[in-house]
Chains A and B, each alone.
Chain A
Amino acid sequence: MEQIRVLIGKEFRLEWRQRYALNGMLLYIVSTVFVCFLSFSLRRNQLTPMVWNALFWIILLFTAINAIAKSFVQERSGRLLYYYTLISPQKIILSKILYNTLLMLVLASLGFGIYTLVMGVPGQEMDMPLFVVNLLLGAIGFAASLTLVAGIASKAENSATLMAVLSFPVVIPLLLMLIRVSKNALDGLDRSVSLDEIGTLLAIDAIVLVLSILLFPYLWRS
């Protein structure tokens, strides 16, 4: 536990030292939201909840892929090797997933704030707590599945393309569930309607988390 705490602290320091990467991601999400806003010709009232919702999650998906893709290329391979001699690989992947979850939460809340600011909220009876829970589950799921894929992609040569190709199909089940739950939250439906989906989301999160932890030791050995 102590080791994981130290590792997460290390990730934060690393991020702080390379502030341009973090700032780049923040700017990325802000400008993407703004591009969407302008593309709809500023007529935000005509946006149906369906479009609003799908657009929001697609923006988040792209941000997540860009943000998490760098989690293994930020450090020199020599330094990674040094960590591996000190700590078990499970702890490394766990700390990276936790850190990426936090990063995703920051990005998602910023994105959500700006998105609602410029695009407005369709539908008056939005179920905010459910939406936030959904955002949290999404952050965990994105972080867990994309961190492992980022590790895989970082081993290959043209990792940017590979990252997109490998991660899109893997996150689609997650994305579909997230879109459905957040649509329910947006429409202010009764929470019992979303229980099935929330259960599936939890199950998918658990599957990708466990698999990442099981498979990562094999990945770093190569």
Chain B
Amino acid sequence: MTMKKNWWKALAVVIMTYVIWVGLVGTVPRQPILNESIRNVYFHVPLWFSMLILMLTSMIYSIRYLRNGRLDDDHISVEFANTAILYGILGCATGSLWASITWGDPWPNDPKLNSVAVGMLMYFAYLILRNSFDDELRRARISAIYNIFAFAVFVPLIFILPRLTDSLHPGNGGNPAFGKYDMDNGMRMVLYPAVIGMTLLGVWMTQLRVRLRRLRDRLDNVNNPLPKAHSTAE
């Protein structure tokens, strides 16, 4: 029973152990400039992939909330967004570390970096928007609308704009994609599982936070059995 329900957590642990182990001690191709820092591919790149997956899931739950109005969907949506923000910050940190070694500057003026910074601003604005409402239902509805809007603007920002300009990142501005020249099959065997593992880990974190939120809600209801006076103005 528990195994049936929780197999994916075991999978996440196994995959992440494998990724960290092989990522740190496995053999990697020797590249000029990149040297050993190429191992960051296993951590930096999957963080972005899973951040996008988490943001997409957050948006899907926002759409679900708008369609059926279940407050639980809103809780799930905001926690997915929170995890995505955490991944975004970690992605910036690993990227910055990597950039300072290979490009000689912790924050080079690169369209992809700037796009991500703007995207992070969007999600911080989302959190601020949430905090400016007292009424739970209003907060859920309006922040769901902004969440959908922000994601829809974020996608062209991060996928289309950097490809139109010169970028230091592989696959942008006429640079060939990573896989074409310096990624061998051995690296792929780590990178793809890493994406899956990171995403599962993110889902796990989100699940725990959602449960915490539900418990807090229930505690609130137990402590104040009377319905809260919501501002119903407008």
Contact = CB atoms under 8 A, between A and B. Distances in A.
Contact of A207 (B132, B144, B153, B234): B153
A176 interface: yes
Contacts of A203: 156, 160
B125 A152 contact: no
B234 A77 contact: yes
B121 A173 contact: no
Which secondary structure characterizes the binding site on chain B? Answer: helix
Contacts of A47: none
Contact of A162 (B128, B150, B160): B128
B132 A218 contact: no
Interface string B98-129: 00000000000000000000110110010011
Interface stretch (A2-10, A37-45, A122-130, A153-161): A153-161
A152 B161 contact: no
A148 B118 CA distance: 19
Given A168-B121, A218-B66, A218-B141, A200 B129 contact: no
A222 B142 contact: yes
Contact of B146 (A166, A172, A177): A166
A60 interface: no
A148 B129 contact: no
B70 interface: no
Contact of A219 (B133, B145, B156, B161): B145
Interface residues of B, number: 28
A197 interface: yes
Contacts of A169: 118-119, 121-122, 125, 150, 153
A155 B161 contact: no
Contact of B157 (A172, A197, A222): A172
B189 interface: no
A207 B141 contact: no
Contacts of A176: 161
Interface residues of A, number: 32
A204 B156 contact: yes
A158 B157 CA distance: 28
A133 interface: no
A174 B148 CA distance: 17
Contact of A172 (B118, B129, B133, B137): B118
A211 interface: yes
Contact of A155 (B138, B144, B156, B160): B138
A211 B149 contact: yes
Given A152-B142, A218-B141, 20 more contacts: A152-B146, A156-B132, A156-B133, A156-B142, A158-B132, A165-B128, A166-B129, A168-B125, A170-B122, A170-B149, A172-B157, A173-B153, A173-B157, A196-B164, A197-B164, A203-B156, A203-B160, A211-B152, A221-B141, A222-B137
